[in-house]
Amino acid sequence: MADPIPKATAPKAAAPKATVAPGAAPQQPMSTITEPFVEGFRIEAKRIKDISDVLTVLAPLQFLEIAETKDGLVLINVERRDIQKNPYLFSITYLNPDSIEIVYSYVPDISPKRRRLEVLRYLLNVLTLLENVYFINHGQLFQVIDGIASRFFEYTSSSYDEVFSKYDALKEETERLRKSISELASANEKLSKTNIEMKGRETDMLLRIKELEMVSDEVLMSRIQAWLTEHNYEINIADFARINRVSEQRVEELLNRMVREGYLSQRE
């Protein structure tokens, strides 16, 4: 088994003391930074090449800070810093002569299981580069991978039922809505046909009403004569047209026709 490194918290930095000038309002307390937790693990691995050879194979990893110790190397990967520029989310890999040890941090807003997977992925990429300069105990490495993966799968399997239940409920709701949409589409099609039929009937009725309201010239000429008799042979074209629902132009045309045909005579 890989040797686990006890969980610890990142070292605390001394908080600066606030001073208040005489007569000044007290300062608001500074917001505290949640300290990250630190844990790690170690695997057996024997270095079979010189440190210079190790540095050569690690050259492509330019994002790392590499420090040389008395008998090994330290790989520092700072992923996030706090507002005071101190390392906050990080991993430190110790390449010792007879082991490889990694220490990493995780913060409350990140799932520890997810963080372990991220660190494991990073370490496997590093070990891929080190395969010709280190003899790694793969059996122990597989145990580390299995331990981290099993804890992650416990987390995912515990939430699988909940996720599937929501999926199943959404699937049923989708089917219900799809059926409702189909029924509404069918009803809408029927309403559209009915609406077209109703519009056709409305058009026919309007034409019929217009025909019924249409007054023939003979009828209108008879009404003009009745009007003249009732109004002392005087006619207000606008009033007559409004009452009989005809245009003033048509009334004038009929008056001229009645004069031409001898039904009316113009006053001298």
H or E stretch including 120? Answer: helix 112-129
One-character DSSP codes across 79-111: EEE-TTS-EEEEEEEEE-SSEEEEEEEE-TTS-
Q: Above 60 in pLDDT, residue 90?
A: yes
Q: Above 80 in pLDDT, residue 219?
A: yes
The rounded Cα 99 to chain-centroid distance in angstroms is 47
Q: What is the pLDDT of residue 157?
A: 53
Q: pTM of the entire structure? A: 0.47
Closest-CA residue to 259 (of 230, 214, 225, 215) = 225
Q: Regarding predicted confidence, which is higher, 265 or 183?
A: 183
Q: Above 60 in pLDDT, residue 179?
A: yes
Share of the chain above pLDDT 70, in %: 79
Q: Regarding predicted confidence, which is higher, 163 or 73?
A: 73
Mean of the per-residue pLDDT values for the chain? 79
pLDDT tens digit string along 30-47?
445 567 888 888 989 999
DSSP reduced 3-state for 223: helix
pLDDT tens digit string along 114-142?
888 888 889 898 999 998 999 988 888 88
Q: Above 80 in pLDDT, residue 163?
A: no
